[in-house]
Amino acid sequence: MVNAGSSSIKCGVYGAERGERVVGMHCDIRAGSCELVTSRGDGSVGSEQVPLPEAGETAWQSAVRTVLARGVEVAGGPVIGVGHRIVHGGNEFQEPVVITPAVLTEIEKLVPLAPLHQPHGLAAIRGTMACLPDAIQVACFDTAFHAACPPVALRFAIPRRWHDAGLRRYGFHGLSYESIVARLPEVAGGLPDRMIVAHLGAGASLCAIRGGRSVATTMGFTPLDGLVMATRCGEIDPGAILHLIRREGLSPAEVEEMLWRESGLLGVSAESGDMRVLLESENASAAEAVELFCYRAVREIGSLTAALGGLDTLVFTAGIGEHAAAIRAEMSRGLEWLGVAIDSRANASHGPQISLPGSRVAVWVIPTDEEVVIANHTRRLVSRLQGDPSPLQPGRPTASRP
């Protein structure tokens, strides 16, 4: 399993029979090097600096090859299949697929819709193919979980021809939401009918889930929409973008750079896109960025509650959601009208349940595990391919969700 993010690569090696994780690896990429952290099944953890002589996407491919080679070495066995997290699946892919040249071409066409992530996912695929040419490669899409949304939740109010051409809401972080849907029953003793999951990290979104299926989410056509993020603006009036181009003279490329890489927490604080830095800062602009982050999330939770017709459970996950008690507390204060009441001690210790017994809404902190979801999809798809290869010949995507 390979999960290529915007600044890191996660890799896990899982057993083909029972799906247990043999080794997990996390690589933080910095200029010229890769900090490689390895956790083995026996509980031991190691860390090392690995030089990366290349730059750009070549560096990502080099990092993937390094991580995979070390993972295979530690695991001590052949690799049958490799699953990849791909952020955007567009109209073409609404389920995991075996990667063929034709599939790779379609994934590459979607780079403009997820420029912070899609190129790294492609680099990871190519690096893996070079390192493990005989392994079956599988793409798992962040957009697939939201394919079940009602059509009205996916449509923009634009001419039909553009909707028919694929200009609609897709939603993202689907692998994370799928992970929470699978994990919550183990922790809470059952899956609530109406819940909202807050995936809060450098990329942030919310998802309204009913009966285990997505019904609405805050991200749209691209991962730029919705909540305030580390460097992404989130929701913005399209007229403001037209103003920047027509009146201020910015080029589309300049506007794109600003909205994706210079906005969000970084843009508002003029200090950092890292929530940890902002929470420790004494600058008024940092406090304003944190306030806006929480305000927008609370407002959108209200919107998604309306889409669900009520709310039974709220789950915090991802980097900020799992580790920033102050953010959870501030958001919970903004949701008292909804019946949210949290235990300050439980919140400070990061849960797993942080709501008080009398809270009308159960509130949980649950770590997301996209890697397990990817590994499970890959194992099932590879098993199907080995059992009946005819439907999955190279060049043909899978016909149904594994």
> Whole-angstrom Cα distance, residue 327 to residue 166?
36
Please state the domain count of the chain: 2
**Sequence-distant contacts of 159-166: CB under 8 A, at least 24 apart:** 166/90, 166/91
Catalytic residues: 142
Instruction: Tell me the mean pLDDT in the region 207-217.
Output: 97
* Residue 395 pLDDT: 32
What pLDDT sits at residue 42?
Answer: 66
Spatial strand order of the sheet with 204-210 comes to: 213-217, 204-210, 194-200, 313-317, 362-365
The label of the residue with tokens 């962040």 reads: 142
Q: pLDDT (tens digit, 9 = 90+) per residue, 12-62? A: 778 766 667 777 777 766 655 666 676 766 667 777 777 765 555 566 667
List pLDDT tens digits, range 329-348: 999 999 999 999 999 999 99
CATH code where residue 136 lies: 3.30.420.40
Q: What is the DSSP string of 34-86?
A: EEEEEEETTS-EEEEEEE----HHHHHHHHHHHHHHHHHHHHTS---EEEEEE
For residue 172, being part of any structural domain is answered with: no
Question: How far is 382 from 394, CA to CA, in rounded Å?
Answer: 13
Instruction: For residues 125 and 214, state if they share a domain.
Output: no
Residues 207 and 356 in one domain: yes
DSSP 90: T
Q: What is the DSSP string of 225-261?
A: SSS--SS---S--HHHHHHHHHTS---HHHHHHHHHH
- Looking at the domain assignment, is residue 289 inside a domain? yes
Q: Is residue 176 part of a domain?
A: no
Q: What is the mean pLDDT of residues 103-113?
A: 93
Same domain, 101 and 201: no
Answer yes or no: do 17 and 129 share one domain.
Answer: yes
Q: What percent of the chain has pLDDT over 70?
A: 86
Residue with tokens 């190129």: 119
Q: What number of CA atoms fall less than 13 Å from residue 235's CA on the CB side? A: 15
Q: Which of 114-123, 317-326, 333-342 has the lowest mean pLDDT?
A: 114-123
> Considering the chain, what is the average pLDDT of its residues?
88
Query: Which residues, including other chains, have CB under 8 Å from residue 207's CB and lie 6 or more apart?
Result: 145, 146, 171, 173, 177, 196, 197, 199, 214, 216, 217, 218, 304
* pLDDT reported for residue 210: 97
Q: Measure the CA–CA gap between 65 and 99, rounded to whole angstroms.
A: 18
More confident residue, 6 or 253: 253
Q: Give a yes or no: residue 157 inside a domain.
A: no
Q: Which of these, 153, 125, 127, 270, lies nearest to 214 by C-alpha position?
A: 153
Tokens of 394: 């190279």
The β-bridge partners of 141 are 86
DSSP string, 157-193: SS-HHHHHTT-S-----HHHHHHHHHHHHHHHSS--S
| Same domain as 208, residue 112 | no
Q: What is the dihedral of CA 3, 131, 387, 395, to 10 degrees?
A: 80
Segments forming the whole domain that contains residue 32:
2-141+371-392
Identity of the amino acid at 226: G
CB 62 within 8 A of CB 369: no
> Mean of the pLDDT values across residues 311-329?
97
Query: What is the model's pLDDT at position 143?
Result: 95
d(CA 400, CA 402): 6
Structure tokens at 122: 């492609």
Residues for the chain: how many in total?
A: 402
- 39 and 69 fall within a common domain: yes
pLDDT at position 401, please? 32
Q: Would the CA dihedral through 189, 195, 200, 204 be positive or negative?
A: positive
Which residue did the predictor score with more confidence, 49 or 154? 154
Same domain, 216 and 328: yes
Could you give the CA distance from residue 149 to residue 58 in angstroms, rounded to a whole number?
37
CA 358: distance to chain centroid?
32
Q: Are residues 221 and 347 in the same domain?
A: yes
What is the per-residue pLDDT for 400? 31
Within a domain: residue 209? yes
What are the pLDDT digits (tens) for 356-376?
Answer: 999 999 999 999 999 899 989
Better pLDDT: 17 or 324: 324
CB of 34 closer than 8 Å to CB of 52: yes
Based on the fold, state whether residues 294 and 331 are members of the same structural domain.
Answer: yes
Residue 165 in any domain: the answer is no
Report yes or no on 154 lying in a domain: no
Q: Which of 10-24, 112-126, 259-273, 347-361 has the lowest mean pLDDT?
A: 10-24
Q: Is 402 a member of any domain?
A: no
In whole angstroms, what is the distance from residue 138 CA to residue 98 CA?
A: 4
Of 393 and 31, the structure prediction assigns the larger pLDDT to 31
Question: Do 251 and 350 share a structural domain?
Answer: yes
Q: Are residues 285 and 339 in the same domain?
A: yes
The whole-angstrom separation of Cα 67 and Cα 104 is 22
User: According to the model, what pLDDT value does residue 71 have?
Assistant: 67
Element (H, E) at 375: helix 370-387
**Rounded mean pLDDT, 226-253:** 96
24 phi and psi, to 5 degrees?
A: -120, 145
Amino acid identity for residue 357 in this structure: P
| Whether this model's pTM surpasses 0.75 | yes
Q: In terms of domains, do 361 and 218 share one?
A: yes
**Cβ atoms of residues 352 and 365 within 8 Å:** yes
Q: Per-residue pLDDT for 402 more than 60?
A: no
